[in-house]
């Protein structure tokens, strides 16, 4: 059994500056097929470490500097209420979405639906086998959306892996009817250029627009040809989702985007976007696009318009995701240094890489600009065997403060305050010790989101976690409720 500490056991902290027909789903009766990882959020294969690194990790555990293998620790203001291990779906756990009393959890092998009416005892309602990394997930009304970013033999849920060099291969968006949560039905599929690594919903009354982010074109891939300098926009009619279709492919980088490589060493070449977050109440979107960060208008959802674009060619390797604050005068961008497969929370990497970048939004209308203020990175030491980097998070809705909960893979979950853009600070945390001290293994929270009074996390290896934070700074959020949450479609919590 793992032991529990309610206070930090660290003896030091890192020097981090706070500074359709033929389509069907299979409800699980047997084990799932294997999924194929892709670049960006791909799981690294287990990699042996040197004898000295293994010895250092073991020594750090003995000294209490880091928790033991699978040991759970957390700050006093965090409680760990529940963990639901993986069941039939044994692939990597990925993103989360919420609706009413349900949580929807993506997995490289499909998705799982939990009843979270009792957060201390989440109950599985359904598990759907539908392999295809990433299986990024979101919901709107009776529709569930699932991204496929691995080359498949066809668009069914019984497909197998097939090379992207084959013209008949399929990648893209899948749509399910979830009016019966116990029996989701696969109703539509739309193939998109270079697949769908992530997607973002822009919901309307009659339609749901889907912004599809994908990247890494190749001249040998018939359906993923360079240049790939934009996003696919899909229109899904709510009453006839089988009629879903691509309505635009807006070019976001007419100059080709960040060249990366020899021009900007250590920076990803921009060949598309990794993730987009929209704030529909403000007609705004923020794009994390490999080597570039974007701010754009979505007044016309079929034709997004770029307002500003920024780069950080010193410290940001891979612009991964974005989060607005409630007032829409700040954006937090994350840098997924190492592609989610490397140990980057250590002294060698330092406090500014694999971190968050906090940007103020200044000016008005189409003249608004993104202005860098500071970096934030967890300063709790991690072993060199722990894959750790900034990943998915959400705001905690408190008027007058900018608070966020965020996943850091094996760095665990951080609750932090960026009300002062130039001086962010951590105010709570939860984490497990290393999965292993003799090899680098991808594990830990993929996503950590605040929903209706609780923090929910999808741990890549350990399953679905529920946490509660009790802190005077976050307590007002317990009174805020929303009927649906896709974190990349941020609600306006206070304009209701």
Percent of the chain with pLDDT over 90: 84
Longest CA pairwise span in the chain (Å): 60
- How do the domains of the chain map onto residue ranges? 4-485
Tokens of 457: 């996390």
Tokens of 447: 């996503």
Residue 21: pLDDT band with limits 50, 70, 90: very low
Mean pLDDT, residues 265-287 = 97
Instruction: Put the strands of the sheet holding 72-74 in their side by side order.
Output: 4-5, 72-74, 425-432, 413-417, 403-407, 393-396
Distance CA 94, CA 149 (A): 13
Distance CA 347, CA 381 (A): 8
- Provide the pLDDT for residue 23: 53
The string of DSSP letters for 141-191 reads TTEEEEEEEEEESSSSTT--B--TTSTT-EEEEEEEE-SSTTS-EEEEEEE
**Per-residue pLDDT for 26 more than 80?**
no
Torsion-angle region of 354 (φ positive above 0: left; ψ -120 to 50: alpha; else: beta): left
- Selected residue with higher pLDDT from 99 and 37: 99
- Selected residue with higher pLDDT from 237 and 21: 237
Please write the tens of the pLDDT for every residue from 319-340. Answer: 999 999 999 999 999 999 999 9
Distance CA 50, CA 56 (A): 10
Mean pLDDT, residues 425-442 = 93
Q: Are 446 and 62 in contact (CB under 8 A)?
A: no
Q: Where are the alpha helices (DSSP H) in 355-401?
A: none
Q: Are 108 and 459 in contact (CB under 8 A)?
A: no
- Provide the pLDDT for residue 433: 96
Which residues lie closer than 8 Å to 496 by C-beta, 6 or more apart?
none
Distance CA 303, CA 287 (A): 15
Mean pLDDT, the chain, rounded, equals 91
- Provide the pLDDT for residue 350: 96
Q: Are 390 and 55 in contact (CB under 8 A)?
A: no
The DSSP 8-state label assigned to residue 243 in this structure reads G
- Provide the pLDDT for residue 58: 81
- Selected residue with higher pLDDT from 22 and 274: 274
- Provide the pLDDT for residue 31: 29
Mean pLDDT, residues 102-112 = 98
Distance CA 306, CA 9 (A): 46
The string of DSSP letters for 105-123 reads EEETTEEEEEE-SSTTS-E
Strands (E), 302-453: 305-310, 319-324, 330-335, 356-362, 369-376, 393-396, 403-407, 413-417, 425-432, 439-440, 445-451
- Selected residue with higher pLDDT from 56 and 193: 193
Which residues lie closer than 8 Å to 471 by C-beta, 6 or more apart?
77, 415, 427, 428
Residue 478: pLDDT band with limits 50, 70, 90: very high
Mean pLDDT, residues 267-286 = 97
Peptide bond before 216: cis, by omega within 30 degrees of 0? no
The string of DSSP letters for 420-479 reads STTS-EEEEEEEE--S-SSEEB--SEEEEEEETTEEEEEETTTEEEEEEE--TTTGGGGG
Tokens of 106: 């993506």
Q: Are 330 and 312 in contact (CB under 8 A)?
A: no
Distance CA 220, CA 214 (A): 17
**Per-residue pLDDT for 496 more than 60?**
no
Distance CA 401, CA 390 (A): 21
Please write the tens of the pLDDT for every residue from 37-77. Answer: 333 344 445 677 677 777 887 888 888 888 999 999 999 99
Please write the tens of the pLDDT for every residue from 391-418. Answer: 999 999 999 999 999 999 999 999 999 9
Percent of the chain with pLDDT over 70: 90
CATH number of 4-485: 2.130.10.10
**Per-residue pLDDT for 261 more than 80?**
yes
Of 18-22, 172-176, 350-354, 429-433, the poorest mean pLDDT is in: 18-22
Mean pLDDT, residues 423-430 = 98
> The tokens 């004898």 sit on which residue?
51
Which residues lie closer than 8 Å to 72 by C-beta, 6 or more apart?
2, 3, 4, 5, 80, 430, 431, 432, 433
């Amino acid at each position: 059994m793992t032991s529990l500490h309610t206070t930090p056991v660290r003896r030091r902290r890192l020097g981090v500056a706070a500074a359709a027909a033929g389509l069907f789903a299979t409800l699980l009766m047997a084990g799932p097929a294997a999924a194929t990882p892709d670049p960006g959020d791909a799981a690294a294969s287990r990699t042996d470490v040197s004898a000295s690194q293994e010895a250092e990790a073991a020594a750090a555990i003995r000294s209490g500097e880091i928790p033991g293998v699978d040991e759970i620790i957390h700050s006093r203001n965090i409680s760990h209420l529940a963990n639901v291990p993986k069941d039939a779906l044994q692939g990597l756990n990925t993103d989360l979405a919420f609706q009413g009393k349900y949580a929807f959890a993506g997995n490289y092998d499909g998705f799982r639906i939990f009843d979270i009416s009792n957060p201390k005892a989440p109950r599985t309602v359904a598990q759907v086998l539908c392999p295809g990394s990433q299986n990024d997930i979101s919901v709107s009304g009776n529709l569930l959306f699932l991204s496929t970013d691995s080359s498949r033999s066809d668009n069914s849920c019984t497909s197998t892996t097939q090379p992207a060099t084959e013209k008949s291969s399929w990648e893209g968006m899948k749509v399910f009817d979830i009016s019966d949560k116990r029996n989701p039905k696969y109703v539509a599929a739309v193939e998109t250029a270079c697949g769908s690594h992530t997607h973002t919903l822009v919901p309307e009354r009659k339609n749901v627009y889907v912004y599809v982010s994908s990247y890494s074109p190749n001249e040998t891939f018939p359906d993923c040809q360079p240049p790939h300098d934009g996003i696919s926009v899909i229109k899904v009619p709510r009453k006839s989702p089988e009629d879903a279709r691509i309505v635009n492919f807006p070019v976001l980088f007419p100059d080709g985007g960040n060249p990366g490589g020899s021009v900007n060493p250590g920076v990803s070449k921009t060949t598309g976007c990794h993730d987009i977050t929209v704030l529909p109440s403000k007609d705004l979107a923020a794009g994390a696009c490999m080597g570039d960060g974007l701010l754009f208008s979505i007044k016309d959802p079929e034709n997004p318009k770029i307002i500003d674009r920024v780069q950080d060619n010193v410290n940001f390797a891979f612009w991964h995701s974005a989060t607005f604050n409630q007032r829409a005068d700040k954006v937090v961008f994350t840098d997924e240094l190492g592609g989610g497969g490397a140990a980057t929370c250590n002294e060698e990497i330092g406090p500014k890489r694999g971190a968050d970048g906090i940007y103020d939004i200044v000016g008005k209308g189409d003249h608004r600009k993104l202005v860098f203020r500071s970096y934030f990175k967890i300063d709790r030491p991690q072993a060199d065997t722990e894959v750790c980097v900034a990943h998915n998070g959400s705001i905690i809705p408190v008027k007058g403060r900018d608070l966020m909960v965020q996943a850091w893979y094996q760095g665990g979950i951080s609750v932090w305050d960026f009300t002062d853009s130039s001086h962010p600070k951590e105010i709570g945390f939860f984490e497990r010790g290393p999965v292993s001290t003799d090899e680098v293994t991808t594990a830990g929270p993929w996503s950590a989101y605040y929903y209706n009074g609780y923090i929910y996390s999808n741990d890549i290896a350990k399953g679905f976690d529920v946490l509660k934070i009790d802190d005077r700074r976050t307590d007002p959020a317990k009174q805020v409720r929303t009927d649906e949450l896709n974190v990349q479609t941020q609600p306006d919590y206070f304009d209701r």
